Copies of this chain bind each other. A is one copy, B any other.
Amino acid sequence: MASQSKENYLKALFHLDQKDKAISVTELGKVMEVKKSSVTNMVKKLAESGWLKYEKYQPIRLTKKGRKAAALIIRKHRLTEMFLVTKMGFGWEEVHDIAEQMEHIDSPILFDKMDELMDSPRFDPHGSPIPSKDGTLHATHFYPLDSFKQNDIVLLKALRHSEHTFLEYLNSKELKLHEQIAIHSIEPFDKSMIVSYGKHTHVVLSATISTNLMCEKVGDI
């Protein structure tokens, strides 16, 4: 495939692409933490190799080929994260940086083996879906905790993002994926919630937290 740098651009493009709106040079530069001029340069090269379509001053559009390549890199990343957590005993807050490097490893047998050893997991440790081998990423239908109502019972299915500090916070609250959460009340003023889950009853979750907890309703109190 492409160089590590190119793979990172493809990955970033894939993520921006998911948010449906047009992808700009400036935006891509922000995500990649490089200057706009560097982006213009790189995007030209990626266009030459058919990973994306690009015309001066126009939005960047991934091609089917580019989208598939990106999905397969993300597949390697997420399979690795899941392997590290389920087979090696790492915490979900430890695996991102390792997977960030492992995703560039060129070895189909390695990732096939991980997949096999884990019986083809569909989600990574943070609840993000793992693209399938053909580069397909099926959409999930989870909604932020703050979009549910009082007396709803939900399951925590994914995190909107996986920043280290956020994961550490959830660890400190012993709030894990697939945990059942009961919404006792919602404070109208700051949207903070009083919830119960696992062995914790009547815990306060701020709106900052609850917007990032992606859930699925399973019943009522």
List A residues at the B interface (Cβ < 8 Å). 84, 87-90, 94, 97-98, 101-102, 105-107, 109-110, 113-114, 117
Contacts and interface: CB of A to CB of B under 8 A. Distances in A.
4 nearest CB pairs, A to B: A101-B105, A98-B107, A98-B110, A88-B113
Contacts of A117: 88-89
Given A88-B117, A117-B88, A94 B109 contact: yes
> Which secondary structure dominates where chain A touches chain B?
helix
A113 to B, nearest CB: 6
A114 B83 CA distance: 13
A5 to B, nearest CB: 13
16 contacts: A84-B110, A87-B87, A88-B114, A88-B117, A89-B113, A89-B117, A90-B109, A90-B113, A94-B109, A97-B107, A98-B107, A98-B109, A98-B110, A101-B105, A101-B106, A102-B102
Contacts of A110: 84, 98
A88 B79 CA distance: 14
A107 B101 contact: yes
A105 B107 contact: no
Nearest to A90: B113
Contacts of A94: 109
Nearest to A109: B94
A65 to B, nearest CB: 24
